[in-house]
Amino acid sequence: MNLELRDLVEADLKRRFSPEQIAGRLRRKFPSRQEMWVSTETIYQSLYVQSRGALRRDLTTCLRTGRALRKPCRQPGQRKNSARNMLNIVDRPAEADDRAVPGHWEGDLIIGKRNLSAIGTLVEGTTGYTMLVHLPDGYKPEQVCDALIDSVKTLPEVLRKSLAWDQGPELRDHQQITIDAGIDIYFCDPHSPWQRGTNENTNGLLRQYFPKGTDLSLHTPADLRFVADELNDRPRKRFAFATPLEQVGSLILR
């Protein structure tokens, strides 16, 4: 981390900006100076893993947790990223954040018993429309790649603009998905579920149908369609109690 960049990061930490906010603001402030960009994770590592040129450790008290030491978030058996050439979520078009333009999705996996099974979840930001991806044989990268391509290709092109996803190894083949399905994929910062908050909320609802600690491979495509249809037919206050299905229908008919 160069001195100018370090001074700016430290100044913003003192203002109690989060590492995510700092990383985003730097890209906004210096759009053509990549040497002034830094990732959220690099800021955390500079605070907690001391080395030459690192940030002052006492600045950890400015973080919301206030912890002097950072606790590892990943436990044995959880996903670890292996994707390359990733596009960061801060580079996603601004229209995805304000939900003014449809076609920007958030996705993830819900994991079953003993981490042996999974279901893919996709939620469209403007309408709240949900799609569930059948993964009967597991969630290795090649299995998720094929299933996502098949699911996304069922959508009209107007609804295939971008997809935000966690940094898990299941999207190792994200570039192939982009080519075959025609949708740009952006990765969230590590341990930042709020960057795809709509999907996180939907996953919470889905646990009513697919409880934790159960074998998700037992559910058929018909089961997933039934659950998705039920969610998509649920009235939403933010749409004046119209349903996600009605919202999507109005977009397609425009």
Q: What is the pTM of this model?
A: 0.67
pLDDT of residue 44: 78
Task: Note down pLDDT in tens along the chain; length 254 residues.
Answer: 688 888 888 888 887 777 888 888 888 889 999 888 988 888 877 765 544 345 555 555 566 544 444 444 444 344 555 566 789 999 998 898 888 889 999 999 999 999 999 999 999 999 999 999 999 999 999 999 999 999 999 999 989 999 999 998 999 999 999 999 999 999 999 888 889 999 999 999 999 999 999 999 999 999 999 999 999 988 888 888 889 999 988 765 45
Query: Which pLDDT belongs to residue 180?
Result: 96
Asked whether 88 and 39 are in contact (CB, 8 A), the reply is yes
Question: What pLDDT does 78 receive?
Answer: 45
Q: For residue 174, what are its two tokens?
A: 């994200």
Q: Domains in the chain and their CATH numbers?
A: 3-62 (no CATH), 87-252 (3.30.420.10)
DSSP 44: H
DSSP secondary structure of 68-88 = SSPPP-PPTTS------SPEE
Burial category of 25 from C-beta neighbours within 10 Å (exposed 0-12, middle 13-18, buried 19 and up): middle
Handedness of CA 170, 175, 181, 185 (dihedral sign): positive
Distance CA 22, CA 16 (A): 10
DSSP one-letter code for 247: H
Collect all residues with Cβ–Cβ distance below 8 Å to 60 and sequence separation of at least 6: 47, 48, 66, 67, 68, 70
Going from the C-alpha of 178 to that of each of 47, 52, 104, 156, the distances in angstroms are 35, 39, 13, 15
Write down the pLDDT at residue 69.
44
In three-state secondary structure terms, 108 is strand
pLDDT at 77: 42
Q: Give the pLDDT confidence score for residue 62 in this predicted structure.
A: 60
> Cβ distance 245 to 233 under 8 Å?
yes
Helix %, strand %, coil % of the chain (to 5): 45, 10, 40
Quickly count: other Cβ atoms within 10 Å of residue 52's Cβ: 5
